[in-house]
């Protein structure tokens, strides 16, 4: 496909429909067409699939629908390779239990997709979604800045506030070259936090034009995932954007796994 697109995989379950309101808004912000992909064990006609969706969710105008037979993750990744979407927006899992991190299909797509993946909690249902606050954690490393550009672009297009959270944790301090050194006096942030914030904003401006973007810096100390969750709830966050280095095995990606398990809002994962 030559036009920008967002891929929205569905599995026929009611829980999976939670991805639709999020995908609709992101499609409008990205000026991208929405491509619904249904993968099942049996072939389903496009018109029949649309009728099923219209019974469960509204505002399907502008969607294209593709129905395929096969293994869900394999077909999703195959279509993504063909169409090169801006992002994939899908439900974290289609089970009814709370606190589950990812289903098998979402896990495989996250591991192998070459584009950002937005994972939506199934419990949010098909209620309307709006983008007012985008939260992006940053540990001061240049590699983590990969998540800043898509987060900043979405926030500016949606006239949303970009909340940048820096969680200081001496135990997990990075030695990556070019990293911003964390403020030492986190109990007295007035000493070093203004200088850190200024340096950070200067680097952000080099990555993407700030334009009319409203950026607010937040400083926290302690467990990274716990602070991200706490601040996302306190700030009524609509989208968390996380950078991921692509390594899943323990002890890697601990914060990402915890946020995926506990967050109540959609999460965009940007692979570094």
Place of tokens 């109540």: 264
Q: Kindly give, in sequence order, each residue whose CB lies less than 8 Å from that of residue 102, ignoring residues fewer than 6 positions away.
A: 92, 93, 110, 119, 260
Fold: same for 5-124 and 133-271: yes
Average pLDDT on 24-40 reads 91
Given this model, what pLDDT does residue 170 score? 47
Average pLDDT, the chain: 82
pLDDT tens readout for residues 151-183: 988 999 999 999 988 877 645 555 555 555 555
Which long-range contacts link 181-190 to residues 24+ away (Cβ below 8 Å)? 181/140, 182/140, 183/219, 186/219, 186/221, 187/221, 189/219
Topology, domain 133-271:
Rossmann fold (3.40.50)
Which CATH number is 5-124 given? 3.40.50.620
Q: When comparing pLDDT for 225 and 179, which is higher? A: 225
Radius of gyration in angstroms for the set of CA atoms belonging to the chain, rounded to a whole number: 19
Instruction: Return the half-sphere exposure (C-beta side, CA atoms, 13 A cut-off) of residue 112.
Output: 15
Instruction: Give the pLDDT confidence of 115-156 residue by residue, as tens digits.
Output: 999 999 999 988 999 999 999 988 767 667 777 888 988 999
Domain ranges of the chain: 5-124, 133-271
pLDDT of residue 211 exceeding 70 = no
Burial annotation 69-106 (CB, 10 A radius, 16+ → b, else e): eeebbebbbebbeebebbbbbbbbbbeeeeeebbbebb
The residue-averaged pLDDT of 208-228 equals 81
Q: How far is Cα 183 from Cα 202, in angstroms, rounded to an integer?
A: 17
Backbone angles phi, psi at 90, to 5 degrees: -150, 160
pTM of the model: 0.85
């Amino acid at each position: 496909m030559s036009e920008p697109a967002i891929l929205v995989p569905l599995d026929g379950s009611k829980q999976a429909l939670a991805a639709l309101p999020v995908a609709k808004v992101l499609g409008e912000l990205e000026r991208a067409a929405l491509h619904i992909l249904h993968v099942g064990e049996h072939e389903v006609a496009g018109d029949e699939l649309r009728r099923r969706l219209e019974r469960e969710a509204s505002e399907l105008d502008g969607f294209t629908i593709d129905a395929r037979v096969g293994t869900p993750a394999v077909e999703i990744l195959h279509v993504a390779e063909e169409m090169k979407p801006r992002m994939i927006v899908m439900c974290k899992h289609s089970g009814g239990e709370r606190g589950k991190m990812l289903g098998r299909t979402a896990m495989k797509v996250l591991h192998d997709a070459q584009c950002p993946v937005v994972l939506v909690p199934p419990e949010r249902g098909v209620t309307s979604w709006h983008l007012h606050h985008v939260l992006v954690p940053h540990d001061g490393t240049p590699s983590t800045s990969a998540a800043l550009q898509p987060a900043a672009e979405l926030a500016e297009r949606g006239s949303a506030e970009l909340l940048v959270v820096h969680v200081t944790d001496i135990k997990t301090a990075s030695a990556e070259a070019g990293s911003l050194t964390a403020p030492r006096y986190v109990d007295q942030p007035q000493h070093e936090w203004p200088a850190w914030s200024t340096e950070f904003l200067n680097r952000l401006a080099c990555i993407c034009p700030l334009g009319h973007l409203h950026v607010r810096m937040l400083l926290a100390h302690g467990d990274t995932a716990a602070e991200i969750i706490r601040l996302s709830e306190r700030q009524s966050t609509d989208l968390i954007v996380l950078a991921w280095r692509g390594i899943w095995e323990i002890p890697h990606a601990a914060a990402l796994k915890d946020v995926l398990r506990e967050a109540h809002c959609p999460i965009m994962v940007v692979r570094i």
